[in-house]
Amino acid sequence: MITFDGVTKRYADGTVAVDHLSLEVPTGEITVFVGPSGCGKTTSLRMINRMIDATEGRILLDGVDVKTIDPPTLRRGIGYVIQQAGLFPHRKIVDNVATVPHLLGWDRKKARDRAMELLERVGLDLKLADRYPFQLSGGQQQRVGVARALAADPPVLLMDEPFSAVDPIVRASLQEELLRLQAELNKTIVFVTHDIDEAVKLGDRVAVLRVGGHLAQLDAPSTLLARPADDFVREFLGRDRGIRRLSFVTDEGVRLRTDLTVPASAEISSVRDTAEPWLAVVDEENRPLGWVSVKDLPESGTLADARPAPYGTFVRGRDSLRAALDATLLSPSRSAIAVDDSGRVEGVATREALDEALDKVAGGAGA
Amino acid sequence: MHEEPLVRWDWIGRNWPNIQVLLEDHVVMSLVPIVVGLLVALPLGLACVRWRWLYQPTVGVMNVVYSLPSLAVFIVLIPVTGLATRTTVMIPLTFYAMAVLIPAVVDGLTAVPDHVRQSAVAMGFTPLRRLLRVELPIAVPVVLAGLRVAAVSSISLVSVGALVGRGGLGYLFIDGWQRQFYTPIIVGIVLVVLLAAVADMLLVLAQRLLTPWSRARGSA
């Protein structure tokens, strides 16, 4: 756990970058510091590994004041990922990753093996190990940056706007990768960003800072979206926080109907008299094929002869209400097909069912 | 009177041992100032990066030194270091090399990207180790580029020392001019140019070997 205890950073010219910041970063979680430029988020991050020293207050790392630890020693025990990766241009990728193990005096073979293991872990082709940084794309360099930060297996990881210099598609994949890694590694991560969407996507908890280094709110993303503490936070969260909030609501409360699916082998005559306008057709393994409009069915034959319309699915128990709602927009029936992890149909979430679930969310949040 | 050929090969053959001595002298007198210049420029350049206010005065002084005519400096030094000694020639050449190499060292070190320096700090490099393992290696291409300029100018300037009795291959120019005999002049020019070309090639080769990571940046 990292504890900020009344931490202030005041520069010689009187500028206050961080003002009496007190908060806790729980072990094994991602805590995001987010805010506009000048809110002291990077300064706060850098006070943890003493790249900047606090003017007042204490920062405790598992109860130990960081000021009592010699900076190089402290830093070798804390992973750090910087914007633009900050790779050493004169060292091969594998040696870049092995930097901290080398500093810690591991033997060459062990350091190299560890570096290779990490390159694999962050999803990089091992053929890249003997290249130089300039031969890699920005996204690949950033992955190397993450691998390097993890090399000596530090319990704490500091990430300073690590994904803001890459394009949006690469950024999204790096974010997914980080969440996947974190699920395996359970590091204590402090992540700095100015991008509220990134904060909400990655953070177990999000600290919103305002200019002058004041903490405006520290909460789980869903709470933040549901109950912003004040106008500053509300404005910073942006317009569509209602919809975004649904990303944090599980789909488990959504009632499913099982009477709307029919196998492709069924005779058309057997379904013609149903009262439902749309039916979901499934194959023999119970995988979705698409929607059919009952009134537009051919005269005879099986449902396999009908041309099914596109459909949207969500994974039951894993996806959010937002994903379920999104799936309805992809279907002409305006219903979403719920599938299990292996893609087999569990049932259909109709608009009525989703409306009920949304009512519960809105009622519960009081927003 | 019969027509004199431009190059008298028989003269070259007879005088080859002497030419070899001159060549050796030339190599020593141009090489030592570059090496000493580099050894002095490194700490001075580091100091200029560490204490920014030092840089402008240092460059100012070095530029004034660079503007002094070499012959004038040789003559001023004769009473101190002697006529026709290597030292008299090498002292000014060392200063000229420094004038080129100090800015090269400073430029090389300041060209280290900030995010690279910061990530070195964040990973727990001590300041000395960061300098030796990160900042200096990254400065190598810029320093080597400076070294190429210093080497070629040093090789060419040694010849001027002939006017104070110690100019390596430069002696051949004086000798040829005094006797209105072109062969030694041509031999001297060819050898000086060859020497400069070889030195430059060796430095380019060193750059390729030392900095394979910078090749794609168009520096070689």
Within the 53-92 window of chain B, which residues sit less than 8 Å (CB to CB) from chain A? none
Range of the domain at B40: 9-213
Q: B116 CA to chain A: closest CA distance, Å?
A: 4
Cβ count near A171 (within 10 Å): 19
A364 pLDDT above the threshold of 80? no
Per-residue confidence (pLDDT) for residue A328, from 0 to 100: 87
What's the Cα-to-Cα distance from A269 to each of A17, A272, A295, A298, A302, rounded to whole Å? 74, 5, 12, 10, 8
- For B184, the enclosing helix (H) or strand (E) is helix B182-210
Find the mean pLDDT for residues A32-49. 94
Interface test with chain A among B119, B128, B210, B219, by most A beta carbons within 10 Å = B119
What CA dihedral angle connects A10, A11, A14 and A17, to 10 degrees? -50
Query: pLDDT digit string (tens) for A298-338?
Result: 888 888 888 888 888 888 888 888 888 888 888 888 899 99
What residues of chain A lie within 8 A of the CB of B121, using their CB?
A: 51, 75
Give the start-end residues of each E strand in chain A.
2-10, 16-25, 30-34, 56-61, 64-65, 78-82, 156-160, 188-193, 205-210, 214-219, 261-263, 278-282, 288-293, 313-315, 336-339, 345-349
In this prediction, residue B215 has a pLDDT band, given cuts at 50, 70 and 90, of low
Which of B183, B197, B188 has its CA nearest to residue B170? B188
In this prediction, residue B216 has a pLDDT band, given cuts at 50, 70 and 90, of low
Find the mean pLDDT for residues B72-86. 92
Query: pLDDT digit string (tens) for B149-165?
Result: 999 999 999 999 999 99
Cβ count near B177 (within 10 Å): 12
Give the Cα separation of A272 and A294 in Å (integer). 6
Which of A316, A314, A315, A325 has its CA nearest to residue A361? A325
Residue type, A347: G
Say if B2 is an interface residue toward chain A (CB within 8 Å): no
Cβ count near B180 (within 10 Å): 7
Nearest-by-Cβ selection for A75 from B122, B211, B216: B122
Residues above pLDDT 90, as percent of chain A? 65
For Cα atoms B18, B23, B27, give the angle at the middle one, nearest 5 degrees. Answer: 150
Query: pLDDT digit string (tens) for A57-106?
Result: 999 999 999 999 999 999 999 999 998 889 999 999 999 999 999 999 99
As a whole number, the mean pLDDT across chain A is 91
Nearest-by-Cβ selection for B116 from A73, A80, A89: A89
DSSP string spanning B120-172? Answer: HHHTT--HHHHIIIIIHHHHHHHHHHHHHHHHHHHHHHHGGGGGGT--TTHHH
Per-residue confidence (pLDDT) for residue A187, from 0 to 100: 97
Residue type, A68: T
Q: Provide the domain count of chain B.
A: 1
Query: pLDDT digit string (tens) for A147-183?
Result: 999 999 999 999 999 998 888 888 999 999 999 999 9
In this prediction, residue A363 has a pLDDT band, given cuts at 50, 70 and 90, of low
Nearest-by-Cβ selection for B116 from A72, A88, A100: A88
Nearest-by-Cβ selection for A76 from B113, B124, B212: B124
Per-residue confidence (pLDDT) for residue A252, from 0 to 100: 84
Per-residue confidence (pLDDT) for residue B5, from 0 to 100: 81
Per-residue confidence (pLDDT) for residue B220, from 0 to 100: 36
Judge whether B2 lies within some domain.
no
Question: Would you call A337 helix, strand, or coil by DSSP?
Answer: strand
In this prediction, residue A273 has a pLDDT band, given cuts at 50, 70 and 90, of confident
Per-residue confidence (pLDDT) for residue B1, from 0 to 100: 53
Q: A307 CA to chain B: closest CA distance, Å?
A: 55
Give the Cα separation of B71 and B62 in Å (integer). 17
Which of A61, A87, A42, A76 has its CA nearest to residue A191? A42
The length of chain B in residues reads 220
A220 pLDDT above the threshold of 90? yes
The length of chain A in residues reads 367
Give me the total of CB pairs closer than 8 Å, taking one residue from chain A and one from chain B: 72
Find the mean pLDDT for residues A199-215. 94
Q: A20 CA to chain B: closest CA distance, Å?
A: 24
Q: A23 CA to chain B: closest CA distance, Å?
A: 23
- For A237, the enclosing helix (H) or strand (E) is helix A231-237
Structure tokens at B38: 């580099």
Per-residue confidence (pLDDT) for residue B2, from 0 to 100: 64
A362 pLDDT above the threshold of 80? no
Chain A, nearest residue to B213 by Cα: A90
Nearest-by-Cβ selection for B118 from A73, A82, A133: A82
CB-CB under 8 Å, A91 with B213 = yes
B110 pLDDT above the threshold of 80? yes
Identify the sign of the CA torsion B28, B31, B34, B36.
negative
Beta-bridge partner residues of A313: A337
Give me the residue spans of the domains in chain A. 2-248, 252-364
CB-CB under 8 Å, B138 with A84 = no
Give the Cα separation of B33 and B150 in Å (integer). 9
Judge whether B219 lies within some domain.
no
Give the Cα separation of A355 and A361 in Å (integer). 10
Judge whether B1 lies within some domain.
no
Residues above pLDDT 70, as percent of chain B? 96
Residues above pLDDT 70, as percent of chain A? 99
Question: Does residue B28 or residue A297 have the better pLDDT?
Answer: B28
Per-residue confidence (pLDDT) for residue A366, from 0 to 100: 42
Nearest-by-Cβ selection for A90 from B118, B211, B216: B211
Chain B, nearest residue to A132 by Cα: B213
What CATH superfamily is the domain A252-364? Answer: CBS-domain (3.10.580.10)
Per-residue confidence (pLDDT) for residue A23, from 0 to 100: 95
User: Are A2-248 and A252-364 the same fold in CATH?
Assistant: no
Structure ipTM:
0.82
CATH of A2-248, one of 3.40.50.300, 3.20.20.70, 3.40.50.10420, 1.20.1440.130: 3.40.50.300
Per-residue confidence (pLDDT) for residue A308, from 0 to 100: 85
B219 pLDDT above the threshold of 70? no
What residues of chain B lie within 8 A of the CB of A83, using their CB?
A: 115
Per-residue confidence (pLDDT) for residue A367, from 0 to 100: 41
Q: A146 CA to chain B: closest CA distance, Å?
A: 12
Q: What is the CATH number of the domain that holds B184?
A: 1.10.3720.10
Chain A, nearest residue to B141 by Cα: A90
Which of B195, B99, B208, B102 has its CA nearest to residue B152? B195
B35 pLDDT above the threshold of 90? yes
What residues of chain A lie within 8 A of the CB of B125, using their CB?
A: 72, 103
